[in-house]
Amino acid sequence: QLQLQESGPGLVKPSETLSLTCTVSGGSISSSSYYWGWIRQPPGKGLEWIGSIYYSGSTYYNPSLKSRVTISVDTSKNQFSLKLSSVTAADTAVYYCASSGYSRRDLDYWGQGTLVTVSS
């Protein structure tokens, strides 16, 4: 069974770049069966898909964030990462990483989430 764990700074200054890493255990990030995604949830609000990556490096982004988002994968470390540039207070949220199976297209395994606050 897959396990995912987010890591990264909990506080980022406005205009700087938010960087998070998701470490996958219990399976290979190079599996052809999965895409790997980032989802966020501002305090008290709903879920927002940020983007996804395949082990080959193919990326897919939410159009509303595309200009500021970069998702990358490191197969040697079984990790994938999120960078969100030029952050503002509106980017304050709990950030989740999750796996989405190619055949079922759902998000079956999730990390516990990490709160990132944008503040000076």
Partner 1 sequence: DIQMTQSPSSVSASVGDRVTITCRASQGISSWLAWYQQKPGKAPKLLIYAASSLQSGVPSRFSGSGSGTDFTLTISSLQPEDFATYYCQQANSFPRLTFGGGTKVEIK
Per-residue x/- track, 57-76, partner 1 (CB under 8 A):
---x-xx-------------
78 binds partner 1 (CB under 8 A): no
Among 15, 17, 25, 112, binds partner 1 (CB under 8 A): 112
Provide the Cα torsion 27, 29, 30, 34; round to 10°: 90
Per-residue exposure over 80-105, b if at least 16 CB sit within 10 Å of its own CB, e if not? bbbebeebeeebbbbbbbbbbeeeee
Which residues have CB under 8 Å from 37's CB, separation 6+? 49, 50, 51, 52, 53, 97, 98, 99, 100, 107
106 binds partner 1 (CB under 8 A): yes
The nearer residue to partner 1, 104 or 119, going by C-beta atoms, is 104
Residue in 76, 65, 73, 75 with CA at minimum distance from that of residue 37 = 73
> Total binding residues for partner 1 by CB under 8 A?
24
38 binds partner 1 (CB under 8 A): no
- Among the residue ranges 18-26, 44-52, 72-80, 82-90, the one whose residues contact partner 1 (CB under 8 A): 44-52
Contact footprint for partner 1 (CB under 8 A): 35, 37, 39, 46-49, 52, 54, 60, 62-63, 96, 98, 100, 104-108, 110-113
